[in-house]
Each structure stands twice: as C-alpha cells, then as structure tokens.
C-alpha cells in the first residue's frame, strides 16, 4: 500500500513549488473541495503538502504545492470500476494467480482529470500500472522485491 502512495507522491511532486502554505487556510479549501471532512492529518514534504482526511468513511489524500495550489486528490478505487478497456487489458495480461492485486487508487488532478493506479505483485516484482480515464494501460513503475 505504501509503495502506490509513494508513486502518487512522486506523480504530484512534478509540479513547481515556492512559498510554504498554512494548514489553517487550507482546512477551508478542503471543506469546499470535499464537503464535510473528518480527522485532517497534515504531512509536509520538500515539494508538496498532503492532507489525509476521511470523507464519507473513505480515506482521501489531498496534495497541494507549497504555494497552496491544489495538485490533486487520491482515493481508493474498486478494481471492477476501472474503465472497461483497462479491465480487459489487465485481466488478460496480468493474470491471477501470477499477479496479485494489491490496491487501486484514483488520482484526480487540479483540472478534474482522472487517472488510476493499480499495484500488483508477483513473487519477484512490484508493479504499478497507470491507467488513463479512457482505459489506456501503461507501466508506471516496476521494481524487484
């Protein structure tokens, strides 16, 4: 689970950054972005700020650049709710039991464009697939265990 979240962090860290943001001002932004939020936990990294919140009993992570601009959000996604083309590709190319599904997240960027990330493991590797909202599948990262 941590590896796919790290992959998402790498993805969001590709934006440009400058001055630090304040958590107090962004709590209002979170409420306007997500509605009612619970249990906000903030973490800072060199190039972004991350707020982990509960929205309707689902964990959502919201990423901001250090100027306070929204980079995007991540939330867990049901595998069977991925675009149909992606499901067809993944279930034919990365078959069970050789590949075991670890997790699936949806990443929504600041322009409200959605992409998906699916992590899978084999005995020898950890694989993260990137999926466009149209169902195109590519390898985002591949590492040996």
pLDDT band at 34 (very low <50, low <70, confident <90, very high): low
- Say yes or no to pLDDT of 63 above 50: yes
User: Residue 118's domain is classified under what CATH number?
Assistant: 3.10.450.360
For residue 104, what pLDDT is reported?
96
Q: Give residue 126's domain range.
A: 79-144
The answer to whether residues 39 and 83 belong to one domain is: no
Total domains, the chain: 2
pLDDT at 26 over 70: no
User: What is the per-residue pLDDT across 83-130, written as a single tens digit (0 to 9) for each?
Assistant: 999 999 999 999 999 999 999 999 999 999 999 999 999 999 999 999
Residue ending a domain, among 71, 94, 122, is 71
Identify the pLDDT of residue 112.
Answer: 92
- SS3 sequence, the chain? CHHHHHHHHHHHCCCCCCCCCCHHHHHHHHHHHHCCCEEEEEEECCCCEEEEEEECCEEEEEEECCCCCEEEEEEECCHHHCCHHHHHHHHHHCCCCCCEEEEEEEEEECCCCEEEEEEEECCCEEEEEEEECCCCEEEEEEEEC
25/66 same-domain check? yes
Domain closes at, from 21, 38, 71:
71
* pTM of the full structure: 0.73
């Amino acid at each position: 689970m941590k590896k796919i979240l790290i992959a998402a962090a790498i993805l969001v860290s590709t934006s440009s950054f400058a001055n630090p943001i304040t958590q107090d001002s962004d709590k209002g932004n979170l409420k306007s972005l997500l509605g009612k939020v619970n249990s906000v936990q903030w973490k800072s990294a060199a190039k972004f700020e991350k707020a982990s919140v509960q929205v309707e009993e689902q964990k959502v992570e919201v990423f901001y650049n250090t100027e306070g601009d929204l980079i995007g959000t991540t939330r867990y996604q049901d595998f069977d709710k991925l675009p149909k083309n992606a499901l067809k590709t993944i279930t034919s190319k990365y078959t069970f039991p050789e590949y075991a599904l670890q997790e699936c997240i949806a990443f929504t960027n600041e322009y409200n464009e959605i992409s998906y990330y699916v992590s899978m493991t084999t005995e020898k590797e950890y694989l993260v697939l990137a999926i466009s909202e149209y169902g195109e599948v590519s390898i985002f990262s591949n590492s040996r265990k």
